[in-house]
Chain A
Amino acid sequence: MLQRPSSITKSTGIQSISLIDTSVEASLPMALDSIKAGFPSAAEDFMERDLDLNELLIKHKAATFMVKVDGSSMVNAGIYHDDILVVDKSLDADNEDVIIAVVDGELTVKRYVNKGGRRELVAESDDFPNIKLDDIGELLIWGVVTTNLRRFRK
């Protein structure tokens, strides 16, 4: 810092004068777009990333698996043979959730109903029976179905 003669402080209000250390660099991010003359595009401020299906459909990546539907017992829930389900194994099944359960050693898709302690795996079709939990012993929930990927054109 330079010495401040008292005369400067009194008349100019300058607190102090210091030499700038020019050996220190600070890097600034470079603008990626070239600077255009004239008015900037109104859309520029709103430029965002593309819509990402993974972001929408997958909340817990490590626990998310894709499962294909084999059969028609869930048609009333809008789940048809050959649909692809997004299944999240990290979630706890709530009443009315569509879940993948293990029944007779097989992955099975049904609606989970838990009313006042009474639990049942409900088929969403008149042609198929429900599964009462007393009949299968311990209920093994494999995962909760969060999304049905129903494609009209494959």
Chain B
Amino acid sequence: MIALVDCNNFYASCERVFRPDLVGKPVAVLSNNDGCIIARSAEVKALGVPMGAPLFKWRKQLEEEGVAVFSANFSLYGDLSERVMSVLRDNCPVVEVYSIDEAFLDLSLLPRDQLGEYCRELRAMVYKWTGIPVSIGVAPTKTLAKLANHLAKKNPKADGCWLLMGAEHQRLSRLPVDEVWGVGRRLNKRLNEYGVSTVWDLRNMDASTARKLASVNMERTIRELNGESCMPLELTKQPRQRILVSRSFGHDVSSFDDLKAALVTYAYRAGEKLRCQNSRAQSIDIFIHTNTHRDAEKQYKGSVSIPFDMPTNDPSTLSRAATEGLKNIFKPGYKYKRGGVMLNEILPEHVAQLSLFTADVSVSKVGAIMDTINKRLGSDLVHFAASDVGVSWRMNQNMRSPRYTTRWGDIPSAVA
């Protein structure tokens, strides 16, 4: 049996861990840049606020309803996520961390009659240890476990756990087919036109029809719906082949210097991720573009790809490439809305070839030294001088909660 453990409204739940006054109250979390809502507590969902709701449209309503709105606090979410996963790993020998708030557990060694109690205890333990409420769905396959998890969330009587054991005709007939992992809006439409509207319908579809309507993957999904496990738990995470760092600017940016500052910082961030996975990139793409939603204004998209002489993760090299790239694509007189860098053709360090002609060792140490200083004193203390010009593009993070678990200056207080 496979369990899917999934945190309830994760970001919103994180904001409540150190704010017990917000338990039961509506909480929403905004994307970087405070553009749109990326997490809603159950109370906010009940108000009809949709996922991705743009703040400017809903601001008045949120204020009237007394919704506690926070800017995304990824330092906090990452830390709390790691704690949840740690508790899961302590209590289950095989855990696949699927995303920041989901994990699959292999429960095949657990006797069936103990599954229910195990899940209830695990759920209680995660909540007690970390303050994060989770739902657990258990089934013979990952696809069914996802459905079981959905049932656990939707049924208050379930107490946050659901075991989907047999071919539960009743239950699966009442679930719409787009609840199935892998069925998106377009596929859902196609399936509906074919007369497949519930999960049960899809389960009973034959392989050749599946292949015709969708893809080979759909065939695998149908087998999973029928209890045949086709997706083993993946325990080793593949290092990234491409690293993208890109952001929408706080407001329109028109000057070369401001764009340069942004791109250099992105290049540095991307470099951090590269060094983190002990890799080097062989080329970098730099791109900038205007706000594509504003039809009235003149549009421009510029991008350039720069190969490196040799694979690198050195911050100076990446930063220089970002600047050179920008010189190539910058056009004055436009209002830029977004920019980014993408590192490509990534190789593990031991595979990347060392050039015989440059002092590669000393150059790559710069990166490590910068990383160490930044870690000890807080991010971005040491950065390239080019990053300093203007702050107009920096993400708005006005309403971010304190970094309760990663900064001494931000730890929560208890009244004595």
Show the binding face of A for B, using Cβ within 8 Å: 60-63, 65-74, 79, 81, 84-85, 89-90, 100, 102-103, 105-110, 140, 142
Q: Contact between A85 and B414 (Cβ–Cβ < 8 Å)? A: yes
A106, closest chain B residue (CB):
B415
Shortest distance between the CB of B416 and any CB in chain A (Å): 4
- Provided the pairs A61-B86, A62-B83, A140-B20 are in contact, do residues A109 and B416 lie with their beta carbons within 8 angstroms? yes
B405 contacts partner chain A, Cβ-Cβ < 8 Å: yes
* Residue of A with least CB distance to B125: A90
Could you list 11 A-B pairs, sorted by A, with CB under 8 Å? A62-B86, A67-B411, A68-B414, A69-B414, A70-B413, A74-B416, A85-B414, A102-B20, A103-B415, A108-B415, A109-B416
Please tell me if B128 contacts chain A, counting CB pairs below 8 Å. Answer: yes
Residue B131 lies at the interface, judged by CB distance under 8 Å to chain A: yes
Instruction: Write the nearest CB–CB distance from A141 to chain B, whole angstroms.
Output: 10
In this assembly, does B384 line the interface, its C-beta being within 8 Å of a C-beta of chain A?
Answer: no
Chain B residues near A63 (CB-CB < 8 A): 83, 87, 128-130
**Is B334 among interface residues, defined by CB-CB distance under 8 A?**
no
Contact B414 A109 (CB under 8 A): yes
Whether, in the assembled complex, B168 has its beta carbon less than 8 Å from a beta carbon of chain A, the answer is no
Interface membership of chain B positions 356-381, coded 1 if the CB is closer than 8 angstroms to chain A and 0 otherwise: 00000000000000000000000000
**Chain B residues whose CB sits within 8 angstroms of the CB of A66 once the complex forms:** 405, 408, 411
Residue in A closest to B412 when the chains form the complex, CB atoms: A67
Given A65-B405, A89-B129, answer yes or no on A106-B20 (Cβ-Cβ < 8 Å). Answer: yes
Binding site for A on B (CB under 8 A): 18, 20-21, 82-84, 86-87, 90, 125, 128-131, 404-405, 408, 411-416
**A109 with B86: CB separation less than 8 A:** no
Contact of A68 among B90, B405, B412 (CB under 8 A): B412
Q: How far is the CA of A71 from the CA of B84 in the complex (A)?
A: 31
B416:A62 contact, CB within 8 angstroms:
no
- Also in contact, A107 and B130, with CB within 8 A (given A62-B83, A62-B87, A65-B405): no
Contact partners of A102 in chain B: CB under 8 A: 20
When C-beta atoms are compared, the residue in chain B nearest to A101 turns out to be: B414
In the complex, A67→B20 CA distance in Å? 14
B415 touching A62 by the CB < 8 A rule?
A: no
Report A-chain residues with C-beta under 8 Å of the C-beta of B20.
102, 105-107, 140, 142
Q: Which residue of B lies closest to A100 (CB)?
A: B414
A108 to B412 Cα, complex, angstroms? 11
**Neighbouring A residues of B412 by C-beta, 8 Å:** 65, 67-68, 107
